[in-house]
Amino acid sequence: MQRLLAPGLALLFFVVLASGFLVIIGQPPVATMLDLAVYAFGDAYSISESLVKATPILFCALAVILPARLGLISVGADGQLYLGALVGTGVVLAMPGAPILVLLPAMLVGGAIGGAGLALVAGGLRARFGVNETITTLLLNYVAVLLVNFVVYGPWKDPANLGWPATIPFPDGATVPGLFGTRAHAGLILAVLIAVVLHIVFARGRVGLRLRVLRDNERVGRMAGLSFAHMVLLTMGIGGAIAGIAGIIETSAIQGRLQPGISLGYGLTGFLVAWLSGHSFLRAIPLAILIGGLIAAGDTLQLFAKVPASSVTVLLGLLFASMLAAAGIARKRAGAG
Amino acid sequence: MTAPPLIRLKGVTKRFRDLVANDAIDLDIAAGEVVALLGENGAGKSTLMKLAYGYLLPDAGSIEVDGRPQTIHSPRDAMALGIGMVFQQFSLLPALSVLENLLLAWPRAGRWRSGAEDEAAMEGLRDLAPEIAPGTRVRNLAVGERQLVELAKVLNLDARLVILDEPTSVLTPQEAARLHRLVRGLADQGRSVVIITHKLADVRACADRVAVMRRGKLVDAAAIGDRTNDQLVEAMVGKSVARRGRPAHRRLGPPRLMLRDLCCGGIQPARNVDLEVRRGEILGIAGVAGNGQWALAETVAGLVPPESGEVLLDGESVARRSERKAFSSPVAYIPEEPIRNAVVGSLDLAGNLALRSLATSAPLPDPAAAAARLEAFDVRPPEPGRRAATLSGGNLQKLVAARELGEHPAAIVACYPTMGLDVHATEAILGRLVDHASAGAAVLWIGEEIDDLLAIADRIAVIHDGRIVADLLPGATNAAEIGRYMAGGQSRAA
């Protein structure tokens, strides 16, 4: 019963709050919510669109969870995603004719390096000078987005686009393969794989324990021969690499070229998923798919029900608030019992 | 008709699950009276006073203040009744300055800060410890200094009853004497004071009456003149404890742990320390808290790099070189306040035991081995899967000893290792240090109790203002001489 308390309460809160909101904007609440569920997971096409949205969210959640295991609060997944897309695209532009077995891995490595590089700016400042990583990752997001704008409006703009800010379309050798002929792609498999590997490494290996010791008592960690600075660089670097991969995969598989607006707030959504999962790599997987489904369903809903686009963002916010409140209540009850 | 006591506890009982922490306690405290609440760790002294302070609620019994029954639901209620308590820790905000901490508890605080009010809030502390600057952040204060700030905070409340929880456990003899005088002064003003303590010296120095607790029961209460020390110890521990005598003379070998012109930075730095600890030797370091002991201990234990100078173990450098790079010193380290300095509270006991091998690829001990180690060091309960934060201070200190002393270290740094521990736990820790010295370890023991240092150390160095000012042999000195050096009365060169 206790285990079902939090999800049950979350559902209850969400239904009540969402109904209220839908009534206010003049939509039938029950029908609209049923539509949402159908548009999210009702048929093969809906499911594939939900998985498309879930993929970058899951990557970004993993990029947040990793530093969070050391007690760091990184809100820079979006920026890391953009810089990953930038560097990965650079690799593609440098050797567009290379065979897929060379180009695809090289592109992914480029994306990882880009994301890690940006994350390490914040990580290095934290490790060396104790600068708050939340502030630096937040601000570096703008830097990364504007850098992408700079290259697609400037040096990397494809003249054939007639002024449209985007690079040349990616060649086949730089296209992440799709799944079952849908828009869902191999990136999802990679994200799940990374989540499972991280889970195993943390459950079986020593690194999880090391991070926990440093997070809870850095003095004792020092005594044990651990270096907080080192672990900051490690977790921020790998986290950034994961977000960077999300960026280049999104660019390659979904957009097909580098252009502004790669991310629909995936970084922040990933941050919330990370938080809701209780910083668990495994729990982030279903949560990312659920949230991805809601976002995808929102697009469809907007098309058919004439609901304004921003209303889906409102529903998403209500869902997050409901889940956080339910988790808080469940924790309090567990503490009292 | 006599006036009712300031506070009367009647049949007060408090249970924590199966443990009866306070079993039907009756205790009166009259106005202007100093009562010493004596007992070992875990006897229930602090619990009883937390009930009076509203920090905990009793399961049974009643509390009367000025003859009227009162239910004290919270410290706020207690303060309104004129009851204040100084805790051992936790009630100061480390990130704020001394003055800000005092202002937070300042009862007459106006809406806006004023210079006059700042002055008034600081006044009490100036009397206690003029050397503490109002702008210092509390996290930069030594433990002894924090306690004085806590005390000033409660005195600012004009409490009629002041409860002090183990106030002298972190103070030097001189500071303790100052506190004892201050307590007498409070009594002369008509206030009542309860001193929770396990030290007979506190009882003798300032109490009118002594109440002794053992295992949750009040076993004795009498005017101080009616009890001898032997009677009090017997009431406290239930059986006579043989004080560990000076151990058989150990054969001292060649120098093992050497500090060469060592300078340690920090708020209270240590300067130009030259010391040698020989194989089998216990070198005690006496000093007033906050004279560089902490910096010295952390540097020798390899937690912070020295500013200059060298730490040598068997001729090889064991000093940390970089602030940020990982480094694990072979020197075993038992600091004070284990929950802050030596264990990870959220980790289980087995994890805490394995901390030293965490950074390596050495296999972690299995649960059976961990349980055996916990048994051997009398950690209670010896359950490897239990979270460290649930253990008492004494047991945490034993846990640290189990980790640090388990592998026959060549050198040991112990910095106030017995702070706040009861007689049994203190004897156990000091006994371990002696055993390791006998087995050839070099022991650097930064001590708090001069009597303990005199009884056990082979040599006593005195630190004052960051410098070693005396190097004495226990047989050729006494507490008074050490106290003079500690106070900076004369230096070796003079």
The DSSP secondary structure of A199-224, one letter per residue, reads HHHHHHSSHHHHHHHHHH-HHHHHHT
Q: What is the mean pLDDT of residues A156-168?
A: 84
Contact call for B343 and A227, based on CB within 8 A: no
Distance in Å, alpha carbon of A80 to nearest chain B alpha carbon: 26
Nearest CB partner across the interface for B324, out of A127, A217, A220: A127
The DSSP secondary structure of B268-337, one letter per residue, reads S-EEEEEEEEETT-EEEEEE-TTSSHHHHHHHHTTSS--SEEEEEETTEE-----SSS----SSEEE-SS
Q: Which residue has the higher pLDDT, B409 or B390?
A: B409
Q: Please check whether residue B231 lies inside any domain of the structure.
A: yes
Query: Does one domain contain both B55 and B142?
Result: yes
Residues 6+ apart with CB under 8 A from B240: B230, B233, B234
Contact call for A219 and B326, based on CB within 8 A: no
Query: Does one domain contain both B233 and B267?
Result: no
Which among B414, B354, B411, B356 is positioned nearest to B384, based on CA atoms?
A: B354
At which of B181, B204, B237 does a domain end?
Answer: B237
Question: Tell me, what's the pLDDT at A194?
Answer: 97
Query: Does one domain contain both B355 and B259?
Result: yes
Contact call for B358 and A206, based on CB within 8 A: yes
Predicted confidence band of residue B490 (pLDDT cuts 50, 70, 90): low
User: Is the sign of the CA dihedral A25, A26, A27, A29 positive or negative?
Assistant: positive
Domains: count for chain A: 1
CATH (domain of B188)? 3.40.50.300
Q: Which of residues 170-209 of A touch B (CB under 8 A)?
A: 206, 209
Q: Please check whether residue B111 lies inside any domain of the structure.
A: yes
Interface test with A, best of B299, B347, B355, B387 (most A CBs within 10 A): B355
Interface test with B, best of A70, A125, A211, A217 (most B CBs within 10 A): A217
The DSSP secondary structure of B40-80, one letter per residue, reads -TTSSHHHHHHHHTTSS--SEEEEEETTEEE---SHHHHHH
Contact call for B326 and A225, based on CB within 8 A: yes
Interface test with B, best of A220, A230, A231 (most B CBs within 10 A): A220
Contact call for B356 and A127, based on CB within 8 A: no
Query: B381 preceded by cis ω (within 30°)?
Result: yes
Q: Please check whether residue B246 lies inside any domain of the structure.
A: no
User: Is A217 within 8 Å of chain B by CB?
Assistant: yes
Question: Tell me, what's the pLDDT at B266?
Answer: 75
Residue of B nearest to A227 (CA): B326
Question: Tell me, what's the pLDDT at A336?
Answer: 54
Most confident of A102-106, B41-45, B480-484: A102-106
Confidence check: pLDDT of A189 > 60:
yes
Q: Which token pair is A54?
A: 């879930």
Q: Which token pair is B288?
A: 């007033």
Q: Which residue has the higher pLDDT, B390 or B264?
A: B264
Least confident of A293-302, A303-312, B197-206: A303-312
Domains: count for chain B: 2
Least confident of A76-90, B20-34, B76-90, B183-197: B76-90
Q: Please check whether residue B247 lies inside any domain of the structure.
A: no
Helix (H) or strand (E) holding B475: none
Q: Please check whether residue B16 lies inside any domain of the structure.
A: yes
Contact call for A230 and B351, based on CB within 8 A: no
- Torsions phi, psi for A313 (to 5 deg): -60, -40
DSSP-based three-state secondary structure for B467: strand
What are B439-453's pLDDT values in tens digits? 899 999 998 677 788
The percent of residues above 70 in pLDDT, for chain B, comes to 90
The residues that bridge with B284 in the sheet, in sequence order, are B445, B460
Structural contact between residues A126 and A132, judged by C-beta atoms closer than 8 angstroms: yes
Question: Tell me, what's the pLDDT at A110?
Answer: 96
Confidence check: pLDDT of B372 > 60:
yes
Distance in Å, alpha carbon of B305 to nearest chain A alpha carbon: 12
Q: Please check whether residue B328 lies inside any domain of the structure.
A: yes
Query: Does one domain contain both B225 and B330?
Result: no
Distance in Å, alpha carbon of A337 to nearest chain B alpha carbon: 14
Helix (H) or strand (E) holding B165: strand B161-165
Question: Tell me, what's the pLDDT at B369?
Answer: 87
The residues that bridge with B196 in the sheet, in sequence order, are B37, B165
The percent of residues above 90 in pLDDT, for chain A, comes to 50
Confidence check: pLDDT of B107 > 80:
no
Distance in Å, alpha carbon of A216 to nearest chain B alpha carbon: 6
Predicted confidence band of residue B200 (pLDDT cuts 50, 70, 90): confident
Q: Which of residues 109-138 of A touch B (CB under 8 A)?
A: 127-128
Confidence check: pLDDT of A131 > 80:
yes
Structural contact between residues B356 and B343, judged by C-beta atoms closer than 8 angstroms: no
ipTM over 0.90: no
At which of B203, B237, B271 does a domain end?
Answer: B237
Question: Tell me, what's the pLDDT at B214?
Answer: 83
Question: Tell me, what's the pLDDT at A232?
Answer: 95
Query: Does one domain contain both B229 and B287?
Result: no
Nearest CB partner across the interface for A230, out of B326, B342, B358: B326
Q: Are strands B161-165 and B7-16 parallel, antiparallel or unpaired?
A: unpaired
Query: Does one domain contain both B35 and B178?
Result: yes
Question: Tell me, what's the pLDDT at A297?
Answer: 86
Nearest CB partner across the interface for A226, out of B345, B347, B358: B358
Q: Please check whether residue A88 lies inside any domain of the structure.
A: yes
Distance in Å, alpha carbon of A177 to nearest chain B alpha carbon: 40
Q: What domain range includes position A206?
A: 28-306
Q: Which token pair is A28?
A: 């039938």
Confidence check: pLDDT of B41 > 90:
no
Q: Which residue has the tokens 């609209």?
A: A32
Q: Are strands B442-446 and B411-415 parallel, antiparallel or unpaired?
A: parallel
User: Is A25 within 8 Å of chain B by CB?
Assistant: no
Confidence check: pLDDT of A125 > 90:
yes
Query: Does one domain contain both B300 and B184?
Result: no
Interface test with A, best of B139, B318, B322, B324 (most A CBs within 10 A): B324
Question: Tell me, what's the pLDDT at A124?
Answer: 94
Residue of A nearest to B334 (CA): A223
Q: Which residues of B touch A224 (CB under 8 A)?
A: 328, 355-356, 358-359
Contact call for A210 and B301, based on CB within 8 A: no
Question: Tell me, what's the pLDDT at B242?
Answer: 45
Query: Does one domain contain both B400 and B433?
Result: yes
Distance in Å, alpha carbon of B363 to nearest chain A alpha carbon: 10
Least confident of A150-159, B27-36, B37-46, B484-493: B484-493
Q: What is the mean pLDDT of residues A85-107?
A: 93
Q: Please check whether residue B287 lies inside any domain of the structure.
A: yes
Distance in Å, alpha carbon of A336 to nearest chain B alpha carbon: 14
Q: Which residues of B touch A209 (CB under 8 A)?
A: 347, 351, 358
Q: Which residue has the higher pLDDT, A148 or A261?
A: A148
Question: Tell me, what's the pLDDT at B240?
Answer: 42
Q: Which residue has the tokens 């210092």?
A: B136
CB-based burial of residue A97 (10 Å sphere; 0-12 exposed, 13-18 middle, 19+ buried)? exposed
Contact call for A213 and B360, based on CB within 8 A: no
Question: Tell me, what's the pLDDT at B90?
Answer: 56
Q: Which residues of B touch A233 (CB under 8 A)?
A: none
CATH (domain of A153)? 1.10.3470
Distance in Å, alpha carbon of A320 to nearest chain B alpha carbon: 28
Distance in Å, alpha carbon of B338 to nearest chain A alpha carbon: 10
Q: Are strands B270-278 and B255-264 parallel, antiparallel or unpaired?
A: antiparallel
Residue of A nearest to B300 (CA): A223
From CA A191, how far away is CA A329, in angstroms rounded? Answer: 31
Question: Tell me, what's the pLDDT at B109?
Answer: 67
Predicted confidence band of residue A80 (pLDDT cuts 50, 70, 90): very high
**In whole numbers, what is the pLDDT of chain A averaged over residues?**
89
Q: Which residues of B touch A127 (CB under 8 A)?
A: 324
Q: Which residues of A touch B359 (CB under 8 A)?
A: 210, 224-226
Residue of B nearest to A130 (CA): B324
Contact call for A225 and B360, based on CB within 8 A: yes
What are B266-296's pLDDT values in tens digits? 767 889 999 999 999 999 998 876 788 889 9
Distance in Å, alpha carbon of B304 to nearest chain A alpha carbon: 9
Nearest CB partner across the interface for A226, out of B301, B326, B342: B326
Measured in whole angstroms, the distance separating CA A33 from the mean position of its chain's CA atoms is 25
Question: Tell me, what's the pLDDT at A245?
Answer: 97
Confidence check: pLDDT of B259 > 70:
yes
Q: Which residues of B touch A124 (CB under 8 A)?
A: none
Query: Does one domain contain both B363 and B423?
Result: yes
From CA B178, how far away is CA B140, in angstroms rounded? Answer: 23
Residue of B nearest to A215 (CA): B344
Give strand ranges (E) for B319-434: 332-334, 411-415
Contact call for A210 and B346, based on CB within 8 A: no
| DSSP code at position A70 | T
Task: Please state, in angstroms and as integers, the Cα–Cα distance from residue B146 to each residue in B44, B160, B196, B295, following that order.
Answer: 24, 22, 17, 17
Contact call for A209 and B351, based on CB within 8 A: yes
User: Is A333 within 8 Å of chain B by CB?
Assistant: no
Which among B428, B364, B352, B426 is positioned nearest to B389, based on CA atoms?
A: B352
Residue of B nearest to A226 (CA): B326
Q: What is the mean pLDDT of residues B203-214?
A: 90
Question: Tell me, what's the pLDDT at B248?
Answer: 59
The DSSP secondary structure of A7-34, one letter per residue, reads HHHHHHHHHHHHHHHHHHTT--HHHHHH
Confidence check: pLDDT of B51 > 60:
yes
Query: Does one domain contain both B19 and B149?
Result: yes
Q: Please check whether residue A337 lies inside any domain of the structure.
A: no
Contact call for A220 and B351, based on CB within 8 A: no
Q: Please check whether residue B393 lies inside any domain of the structure.
A: yes
Confidence check: pLDDT of B244 > 70:
no
User: Is A227 within 8 Å of chain B by CB?
Assistant: yes
Query: Does one domain contain both B410 and B301?
Result: yes
Nearest CB partner across the interface for A209, out of B325, B329, B358: B358
Question: Tell me, what's the pLDDT at B18?
Answer: 64
**In whole numbers, what is the pLDDT of chain B averaged over residues?**
83
Q: Which residues of B touch A217 (CB under 8 A)?
A: 340, 343-345
Contact call for A220 and B301, based on CB within 8 A: no
Q: Name the packing angle between helices A29-41 and A44-68 (round to 10°).
A: 80
Q: What domain range includes position B407?
A: 255-486
Question: Tell me, what's the pLDDT at B492?
Answer: 43
Contact call for B355 and A220, based on CB within 8 A: yes
Query: Does one domain contain both B57 and B85?
Result: yes
Q: Please check whether residue A94 lies inside any domain of the structure.
A: yes
Q: Which token pair is B221?
A: 């209460």
Predicted confidence band of residue B416 (pLDDT cuts 50, 70, 90): confident
What are B142-160's pLDDT values in tens digits? 767 787 888 888 888 878 8
Structural contact between residues B285 and B461, judged by C-beta atoms closer than 8 angstroms: yes
